[in-house]
Amino acid sequence: MVNEAVYRELIKKYRGHFGRDPEVVAYAPGRIEVLGNHTDYNEGYVFSAAINFGTFFAAAKAVTGGCRLVAGDLMKEVAFDVANIEASAADTWQNYVKGTLAGLTEIKAPSCGFDGMFLGNIPLGSGLSSSAALEMCSGLALGKLFDIRVDAVTLAKIGQKAEHVYAGCKCGLLDQISSLAGQAGKLVKTDFRSVAFETVDLGEDACFLMCNTHAKHALVDGAYNRLREACEQAAAHFSQVLRHPARTLRDVSMAEWAIYKRGLPEGVANRAAHPIGENERVLKGAELLARGDLAGFGALMFDSHESSRYLFENSCEELDAVVDAAKKIPGVLGARLSGGGFGGSVVVLVHPRDAETASAALASAYAATFGKPCDVSVITPADGARLIR
């Protein structure tokens, strides 16, 4: 079992806290975003992967309508009623579970509450979507516990709504879909207009490094939402000036952006250029992977980060330093920020034979600039969310 030590610790803590075994346990991985940044809510394309770090959620039915939820790392409990689920300003980690449960109860009302606990090993604030992993594992576990049956896309949308309504972050579906659809050794290519996804072989001659800078990664402070608003403003502009239907930035090419951006504020125009370019990079990347051209694919990752840095402005000094260092290290094929931005992690594409030396070089280069090394881990594309018991 993946992350078996975490699973055993969760079961031990659950028994100690609730005095019984859980009835259901589910697991959901975090994700890396490999190519296609901020394209999901623009109905575009993304390459992502579920990873070998994740979160477990254990639950059993309660005898009343009361819900007891415990964060296993903190061993802190919160309580609420299954018939009255409201967002909380304190212990905000509970909102991801609350929002997911609220979405499930819209389909079928549970007859009782639950005793639940979650525990995982995804570094918080790393840009690897610990929040979506929590939503998906709690959704699978509570859906099974209360016999509320939903397909993968519906569950992903429930998690997305939990982010919007309960956590205050207007994210797309990337994180939830990636956590659900992952397969070992493969990337997930998703079309977020149709929400259709497929897995694509990465090949045995490639792996990823996760470089966690520990820089601030808080997307609910409004920065993420402001970027989304800029994209929506630009899409409304292009829908008026283009001679074909343009519902979102997915419908705009870079050539059209260059010709028809006049009338947009410069900052909004630059924000729009990022997802437009990312969509084209994902489609090009698919062609390169089909030919086994990892070097070409890695070059697109570098291009993606430069677009984040200068056009979308969702990078930061720490992320830029890692990418700049990666460009100089033998064996590194590509690097870019992963996730919403403003901190968190850089994902680096390397040959497996070079992973150890590249990891040491990246940590050393980061320490030379910031006085302490970043955390570097080998990331393996892994299987997606599932019920464990």
pLDDT tens string 232-291: 999 999 999 999 999 999 999 999 999 999 999 999 999 999 999 999 999 999 999 999
| Mean of pLDDT values over 149-175 | 93
Closest CA to 178 of 54, 49, 279: 49
With pLDDT > 90 as the criterion, what percentage of the chain qualifies?
88
Rg (CA), the chain: 21
Does residue 251 share a domain with residue 138?
A: no
* Helices and strands per DSSP (H, E), number in the chain: 11, 12
Which amino acid makes up residue 129?
A: S
For 204-223, write each residue's pLDDT tens digit: 889 999 999 988 755 545 78
Closest CA to 120 of 97, 102, 145, 147: 97
For 332-383, write each residue's pLDDT tens digit: 999 999 888 888 899 999 999 999 999 999 999 999 999 999 999 999 899 9
Report the length, in residues, of the chain.
389
Does residue 131 share a domain with residue 255?
A: no
Taking CA atoms, 367 is separated from 64, 128, 360, 371, in Å, by: 53, 22, 11, 5
Does residue 111 share a domain with residue 30?
A: yes
Contacts of 86 (CB under 8 A, 6+ apart): 80, 98
Does residue 354 share a domain with residue 270?
A: yes
List the CATH number of the domain containing 104. Answer: 3.30.230.10
For 296-341, write each residue's pLDDT tens digit: 999 999 999 999 999 999 999 999 999 999 999 999 999 999 888 8
Active site residue 175: yes
For position 223, what pLDDT does the model report? 82
Q: What is the pTM of this model?
A: 0.88
For position 156, what pLDDT does the model report? 96
Contacts of 35 (CB under 8 A, 6+ apart): 46, 47, 278, 281, 282, 285, 297, 300, 301, 304, 336
Does residue 323 share a domain with residue 209?
A: yes
Hey, is 107 helix, strand or coil? coil
Secondary structure in 3-state letters for 139-172: HHHHHHHCCCCCCHHHHHHHHHHHHHHHHCCCCC
Does residue 193 share a domain with residue 255?
A: no
**Phi, psi angle pair for 314, to nearest 5°:** -110, 15
Does the CA dihedral 10-14-15-17 come out positive or negative? positive
For position 220, what pLDDT does the model report? 47
Does residue 120 share a domain with residue 53?
A: yes
Does residue 195 share a domain with residue 118?
A: yes
Does residue 251 share a domain with residue 196?
A: no
Domain around 31: 4-200+383-387
For position 221, what pLDDT does the model report? 56
Six-digit token pair at 50? Answer: 């579920």
Does residue 212 share a domain with residue 173?
A: no
List the CATH number of the domain containing 326. Answer: 3.30.70.890
Q: Residue 180's pLDDT band (boundaries 50, 70, 90)?
A: very high
For 76-89, write each residue's pLDDT tens digit: 999 999 999 999 99
The catalytic residue among 151, 175, 251, 324 is 175
Taking CA atoms, 114 is separated from 154, 159, 302, in Å, by: 22, 19, 46
Nearest 10 degrees: CA dihedral of 96, 102, 103, 109? 150
Could you tell me if 43 and 275 are in contact, meaning their C-beta atoms sit under 8 angstroms apart?
Answer: no
Could you tell me if 308 and 336 are in contact, meaning their C-beta atoms sit under 8 angstroms apart?
Answer: yes
Closest CA to 96 of 179, 196, 163, 1: 163
Does residue 226 share a domain with residue 339?
A: yes
Could you tell me if 280 and 287 are in contact, meaning their C-beta atoms sit under 8 angstroms apart?
Answer: no
For 82-127, write each residue's pLDDT tens digit: 999 999 999 999 999 999 999 999 999 999 999 999 999 998 766 7
Closest CA to 345 of 328, 369, 321, 380: 321
| Mean of pLDDT values over 41-58 | 96
Could you tell me if 119 and 13 are in contact, meaning their C-beta atoms sit under 8 angstroms apart?
Answer: yes
Per-residue pLDDT at 27 exceeds 70: yes
Tally of domains within the chain: 2
Does residue 148 share a domain with residue 72?
A: yes
Taking CA atoms, 137 is separated from 30, 110, 118, 129, 292, in Å, by: 11, 18, 9, 13, 34
CA–CA separation, 347 vs 343, rounded Å? 12
Hey, is 338 helix, strand or coil? strand
CA–CA separation, 144 vs 329, rounded Å? 47
Please state, as a whole number, how many other Cβ atoms lie within 10 Å of the Cβ of residue 367. Answer: 12
Contacts of 210 (CB under 8 A, 6+ apart): 32, 51, 126, 128, 338, 345, 346, 347, 348, 375, 376, 377, 378, 379
Closest CA to 187 of 346, 46, 352: 46
